[in-house]
Structure 1
Amino acid sequence: MAGTTSDAGKSVLVTGICRWLARQGFKVAPFKAQNMSLNSVVTADGAEIGRAQAAQAAAAGVEPTAAMNPVLLKPGSDRRSQVVVRGRPVGEADALGYRDFKDRLRTVAAESLAELRAEYDAVICEGAGSPAEINLRPGDIANMGLARAADLPVLVVGDIDRGGVFAAMHGTLALLEPADQALIAGFVVNKFRGAPELLEPGLDMLRRVTGRPVHGVLPWLEGRAIDVEDSLALTAERTPARAPVQGRTLRVAVVHTPRISNFTDIDALAVEPGVDLRFVSSPQEMGDADLVVLPGTRATVADLAWMRERGLDTAVAERAEQGRPVLGICGGYQMLARRIHDEVESRAGAVPGLGLLPTAVAFAAEKTLGRPVGSAYGHPVEGYEIHHGHSVLDDGAAGDAEPFLDGWRRGAVWGTTWHGALENDAFRRAFLADAARWAGRDFAPAPDTDFAAERKARMDALGDLVERHMDTGALLRLLEEGPPGGMPVIPPAGVPDV
């Protein structure tokens, strides 16, 4: 599944196809050879992979593994990324240095795909960005490079809501070299709003000028987002408005730092009736929020500096001094410390934290990956950890602080290293009730909100979308027979064969 652009709907469509195939009785797995994302998760065997692939595996009803996302790039700045191979970090690289990894990574991707194909009835592969990024084609391992190496049929999905979808689809095909074009089996139009008959003339022309079928027109579906890859997708679509509980509302502000990571932690808050959730990047936007969340980040020190430039540090500190709730998760928890020493991510050395918890943070070269279990507010809690920073009590004294999910709490300030904790329903309700009490809000969480059921319903909705609006017979033929032969070639605009 390739896309005309990033965020065209590749991840969502792969999730839907996995769900549909699993419901037909197939054993199916997702695969993304190379993923650039700050939204990751830890598998049962301790490997770090993109959270989108974990969600796709859940849609398929299988346990996620490192083979489903063998290469994960985690940007730490505009120029450098941590390279994670088969779930373990192997180093840092900029765009030029990354070329030195390519031969090894190509082999790792091919071996991982072969592993999945040997175990599963079907493997649905997701591309990265667009296959028409022709400047990257010689070293490509995730788009047409993968498709050609493994002889995979390719569908191209385009987001019609952005406009220009027909030009994007035709242009994507035309920019590919002939051997790559031969693998393009058809198109899928995504996020269509309106009367289907108005679209038909455009579809007819697309079929004529490309010689390829359109395998589906997917209508706009509210609330379809599931564990997306990057913060470009942090829109109102992720946080649909929920009816308040008897007129009571809890206002939650999530600080949207430049390197925000694992922002899916707040999805469980968004499903709560009465929770008004928004992302903020200034004290003015934070405004009258009852609860402020400092989420995870791939660059704790740099994002803390960004907060200071905007006065967000002062705004958060003033809230805490007033006894108004603040929750820090992973990197956000590290920011709450008195001091931070980082010679790993930022290499900035000693940096003062926000000083809202009696802790000190030191960054270690070895990354901590785990799936801890524990309890809080008398309820069992499961989560996952992904961090280099380690927090300890500063000067060894807790004072008036108390332990909280491998972190600390002092008054209305909570900090934890655990991602995913808010997905535990009973714990989430107890935490929100406590936060509301500190904020002086007349709010009580609904007693029956089930986050796992909400995610399952979204996956089922995507499976329904595929079943109702795609040519599923054509999908099965592509899975059984591979790329269709005899596809016409559009003369590329002077693009040489690689």
Structure 2
Amino acid sequence: MSTSKALLVAGTTSDAGKSVVTAGICRWLARQGVRVAPFKAQNMSLNSFVTADGAEIGRAQAMQAQAARVEPEAAMNPVLLKPGADGRSQVVLLGRPVAEVGALDYRERKPVLLERALECLADLRRRYDVVVCEGAGSPAEINLRDRDIANMGLATAAALPVVVVGDIDRGGVFAAMYGTLALLSAEDQRHVAGWFVNKFRGDARLLAPGLEMLHELTGRPVLGTLPMLPGLWLDAEDSLDLSTVVDRADGPGPLGADVLRVAVVRFPRLSNFTDVDALAQEPGVLVRWATRPEELADADLVVLPGTRATVADLAWLRERGLEPALKARAAAGLPILGVCGGYQMLARSIEDEVESRAGLVDGLGLLPTDVRFGAEKVLARPVGEAYGQRVEGYEIHHGIVAVEGGETFLDGCRVGSVWGTTWHGALENDGFRRELLREVAELAGRAFVPAPDTSFAAAREARLDRLGDLIEEHADTDALWKLIEGGVPAAGTLPFLPPGAPGSDA
């Protein structure tokens, strides 16, 4: 195959379904024996993953790599922005943090970052048959177009055809699509070759006239009308998707009489919240978000998840009145699990001159540990054992925890009913998760028995297959393949839609 085959999936808005469509196209192509890779030039997300060689990338790109059945790597997400508590973001370039910047500072770096992104994309195109790129936000953010590196800036620089996804469930999808195209310059419009209507519910016959009119008005066909998939529950990229991650239960498990209730504290700067996905897919486990003390009252397990701003989110926890509730739980022998930033909060003290620059701060004091933030970020893929089960995870943190007592728990610490670890992804290990839940149920006095055959990996694969089915069954795959193979439509073959963006030749 030619090395030129690539496609950019853009969206009318954030959360329109770009990540889902990108993953679905990757799985559809992989099923046909096409060697395909995902790519996102710039991602802003607190949900990240560590590759096998120790690089940090967006979790959505790791999920898309799994959909493509390839190993995730730094080139698939060369620029990752991780927002902090002070309006600044950490810039992760090719898997390594390089700077902390504000929005205007970052804007000045974009020309250089575009060069690096284009180098990574060119490298992937040399090594794979097809590269499916995902945009960021909307391609019609005209105030940002001159320094864009993820949408039309990337498409024009790398000669990519573009399909635009619109979310019909939120309403106004035709206006959003028409308006997106109208705001682009003539050169940018030439790259936009088709539409995907996403999250459709109802009778397709009622929608058909609208699709035809959209084609007539824009000159671009609708390449697929994708139905709403309830319970799809993929790795979320940002907090817009949190409601799909938890707040669900499959009912009591077949081996026990009780439901196990898990409350996950919803920090303002919550990160790697996919850690609780594996709990939410367990039969008989009800997982929900919590921001108030009363929401912890009937929980059998409270999880303090990761956060990009440990000290700031600890202050928020205290302001919300959650500290007394957590200390009362620990005193009563009720289970608490802290992961990464949540683990750091359980310490006696936190010394931070790096992330918050707050200096020495009192922790919750529920574990005999002390935390000091280091300048170098720890990125690792540890392997260990707990409850006699093999456990694999990944680490992303600046905080270094010194342990002075308790039991060792996944390189972390346990005292009584309080566990803490820096390992993300540990709960995805089925044997470990079952044994932990078994002990949680015993400590909480619940007659809950974990299902013996629940496989998180199999559940994830099944969801990725549903995405492949989504494209195969509801998209015009012949037209999609022709677009991938043919590249950007020839000049003059697609109409220019006035009035165009400022600076266009309309």
Which of 325, 329, 332 is equivalent to 1:315? Answer: 325
Residue deviations 1:92-133, cap 9 Å, x none? 000011023212201110000000000000000000000111
Structure 1 residue 414 and structure 2 residue 424: aligned?
A: no
Deviation at 1:17, TM superposition (A): 0.5
Residue deviations 1:437-488, cap 9 Å, x none? 1111111110000000000000001000100000111111111110223111
Note closer, same or farther for the CA distance 1:424–1:385 as it changes in structure 2 (3 Å cut).
same
Q: Determine if contact 2:300/2:441 at 8 Å carries over to the other structure.
A: yes
Letter in 1 for 2:485: E
Once the two structures are overlaid, the 10-residue window that deviates more, 125-134 or 233-242, is: 233-242
Report what 2:447 is aligned to.
442
Report what 1:199 is aligned to.
207
Letter in 2 for 1:158: G
Deviation at 1:377, TM superposition (A): 0.4
Report what 1:121 is aligned to.
129
Q: Determine if contact 1:12/1:224 at 8 Å carries over to the other structure.
A: no
CA distance in 2 between counterparts of 1:437 and 1:101 reads 54
Note closer, same or farther for the CA distance 1:235–1:494 as it changes in structure 2 (3 Å cut).
closer
Structure 1 residue 14 and structure 2 residue 22: aligned?
A: yes
Report what 2:432 is aligned to.
427
Structure 1 residue 487 and structure 2 residue 497: aligned?
A: no
Letter in 1 for 2:280: A
CA distance in 2 between counterparts of 1:409 and 1:46 reads 27
Which of 467, 476, 485 is equivalent to 1:471? Answer: 476
Report what 2:360 is aligned to.
350
Structure 1 residue 131 and structure 2 residue 136: aligned?
A: no
Structure 1 residue 158 and structure 2 residue 166: aligned?
A: yes
Report what 1:402 is aligned to.
407
Report what 2:81 is aligned to.
73
Report what 2:298 is aligned to.
288
CA distance in 1 between counterparts of 2:261 and 2:90 reads 35
Report what 1:29 is aligned to.
37
CA distance in 1 between counterparts of 2:188 and 2:86 reads 30
CA distance in 2 between counterparts of 1:28 and 1:493 reads 34
Report what 1:110 is aligned to.
118
Report what 1:219 is aligned to.
227
Q: Determine if contact 1:223/1:237 at 8 Å carries over to the other structure.
A: no
SS at the partner of 1:135?
Answer: coil
Structure 1 residue 376 and structure 2 residue 383: aligned?
A: no
Letter in 2 for 1:105: L
Deviation at 1:352, TM superposition (A): 0.4
CA distance in 2 between counterparts of 1:243 and 1:472 reads 38
Residue deviations 1:359-394, cap 9 Å, x none? 00000000000000000001000000000000002x
CA distance in 2 between counterparts of 1:269 and 1:336 reads 21
CA distance in 1 between counterparts of 2:221 and 2:245 reads 30
Deviation at 1:226, TM superposition (A): 1.6
Q: Determine if contact 1:72/1:83 at 8 Å carries over to the other structure.
A: yes
CA distance in 2 between counterparts of 1:228 and 1:347 reads 29
Q: Determine if contact 2:252/2:285 at 8 Å carries over to the other structure.
A: yes
Note closer, same or farther for the CA distance 1:23–1:238 as it changes in structure 2 (3 Å cut).
farther
Residue deviations 1:228-284, cap 9 Å, x none? 210110114655431212442000000010100000000000110000000111112
CA distance in 1 between counterparts of 2:431 and 2:245 reads 25
1:256-295 to 2 correspondence within 5 Å? 256-295=266-305
Deviation at 1:317, TM superposition (A): 1.4
Note closer, same or farther for the CA distance 1:378–1:253 as it changes in structure 2 (3 Å cut).
same
Report what 1:252 is aligned to.
262
Residue deviations 1:175-212, cap 9 Å, x none? 11110011000100000010100111211111111111
SS at the partner of 1:99?
Answer: helix
Letter in 2 for 1:420: G
Letter in 1 for 2:163: L
Structure 1 residue 337 and structure 2 residue 347: aligned?
A: yes
Deviation at 1:494, TM superposition (A): 5.3
Which of 484, 500, 503 is equivalent to 1:496? Answer: 503
Note closer, same or farther for the CA distance 1:237–1:416 as it changes in structure 2 (3 Å cut).
closer
Structure 1 residue 101 and structure 2 residue 106: aligned?
A: no
Q: Determine if contact 2:247/2:289 at 8 Å carries over to the other structure.
A: no
SS at the partner of 2:236?
Answer: coil
Deviation at 1:497, TM superposition (A): 3.5
Letter in 2 for 1:341: E
Report what 2:243 is aligned to.
235
Q: Determine if contact 1:223/1:238 at 8 Å carries over to the other structure.
A: no
CA distance in 2 between counterparts of 1:382 and 1:493 reads 51
The unaligned stretches of length 5 or more in structure 1 are: none
SS at the partner of 2:499?
Answer: coil
Q: Determine if contact 1:293/1:327 at 8 Å carries over to the other structure.
A: yes
SS at the partner of 1:235?
Answer: helix
Letter in 2 for 1:161: D
Q: Determine if contact 1:223/1:240 at 8 Å carries over to the other structure.
A: no
TM-score (norm 2): 0.96
Q: Determine if contact 2:307/2:341 at 8 Å carries over to the other structure.
A: yes
Deviation at 1:223, TM superposition (A): 1.9
SS at the partner of 1:345?
Answer: coil
Which of 299, 306, 309 is equivalent to 2:309? Answer: 299
Q: Determine if contact 1:38/1:75 at 8 Å carries over to the other structure.
A: yes
CA distance in 2 between counterparts of 1:264 and 1:107 reads 31
TM-score (norm 1): 0.97
Q: Determine if contact 1:222/1:237 at 8 Å carries over to the other structure.
A: no
Deviation at 1:78, TM superposition (A): 5.7
SS at the partner of 1:319?
Answer: helix
SS at the partner of 2:143?
Answer: helix
SS at the partner of 2:361?
Answer: strand
Report what 1:190 is aligned to.
198
